[in-house]
């Protein structure tokens, strides 16, 4: 017997299945990361053509089967259109999706990671915020949420303003995370700390990161 469930979330990945279907990976508010099948999503004229792409933030109405979920309906809140139309911004966003996919698990409480991902994608569309800063903040905060942030290296001297920014990232609520800017020298140190954090914690070959490193 199938049960109907309604989950809010963001699509992290989408891949073709068979001739007309899609499999989507969704980071949800109450069930962590799940996979679902959208039948006929690749057929011309399907109501799921646009809404089963990565970045889609929506309420997903699903059938929960014994071994999988099937998409019944999608009520889209945001496609993050501005981000999709920005070449560099899109790759920053895809990198964030990959980190969220790396860290999250099914049936875990992933509300903080979902909130962080949503706020970070919104920040990427803000014209006054530097994408490099958003990336560094996201990398550090992701490891903080998952209990893996090692902190700045003890044998490296950083400016007080940099250490203050790191402390703010660690302690701030996600809603207030992207309410500051820094000068170039501080940003460079934050990027260094974030990059070192990723090497020491994730150390994973994210595909979008390879492209980001070539276009920046």
Q: At what angle do helices 87-103 and 111-124 cross, to 10 degrees?
A: 170
User: 68 and 140: one domain?
Assistant: no
User: 172 and 205: one domain?
Assistant: yes
Residue 2 has pLDDT above 60, yes or no: no
Residue 1 has pLDDT above 50, yes or no: no
User: 87 and 144: one domain?
Assistant: yes
Whole-number pLDDT of residue 85: 86
Instruction: Dump pLDDT digits (tens) for 60-87.
Output: 999 998 888 999 999 999 999 998 888 8
User: 124 and 198: one domain?
Assistant: yes
Buried b (16+ CB within 10 A) or exposed e, 174-191: beebbeeebeeebbebbe
Total count of domains within the chain = 2
User: 108 and 26: one domain?
Assistant: no
Instruction: Dump pLDDT digits (tens) for 82-109.
Output: 988 888 999 999 999 999 999 999 999 9
User: 58 and 92: one domain?
Assistant: no
User: 151 and 190: one domain?
Assistant: yes
Beta strands in the chain (DSSP E): 3-17, 21-28, 33-38, 57-64, 69-78
User: 109 and 201: one domain?
Assistant: yes
| Structural domain harbouring 68 | 3-78
Instruction: Dump pLDDT digits (tens) for 136-180.
Output: 999 999 999 999 999 999 889 999 999 999 999 999 999 999 999
């Amino acid at each position: 017997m199938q049960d109907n469930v309604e989950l809010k979330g963001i699509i992290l990945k989408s891949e073709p299945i068979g001739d007309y279907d899609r499999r989507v990976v969704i980071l949800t508010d109450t069930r962590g990361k799940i996979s679902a099948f959208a039948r006929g999503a690749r057929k011309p004229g399907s109501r799921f053509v646009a809404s089963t792409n990565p970045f889609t933030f929506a309420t997903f109405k699903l059938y929960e089967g014994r071994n999988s979920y099937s998409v019944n309906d999608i009520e889209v809140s945001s496609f993050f259109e501005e981000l999709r139309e920005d070449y560099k911004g899109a790759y920053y966003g895809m990198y964030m999706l990959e980190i969220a996919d790396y860290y999250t698990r099914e049936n875990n409480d992933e509300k903080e990671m979902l909130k962080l991902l949503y706020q970070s994608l919104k920040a990427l569309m803000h014209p006054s915020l530097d994408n490099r800063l958003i990336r560094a903040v996201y990398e550090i905060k992701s490891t903080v949420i998952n209990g893996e942030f090692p902190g700045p290296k003890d044998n490296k001297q950083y400016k007080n303003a940099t250490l203050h920014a790191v402390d703010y990232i660690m302690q701030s609520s996600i809603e207030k995370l992207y309410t500051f800017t820094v000068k170039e020298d501080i940003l460079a140190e934050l990027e260094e700390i974030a990059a070192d954090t990723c090497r020491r914690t994730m150390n994973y070959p994210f595909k979008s990161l390879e492209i980001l490193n070539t276009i920046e």
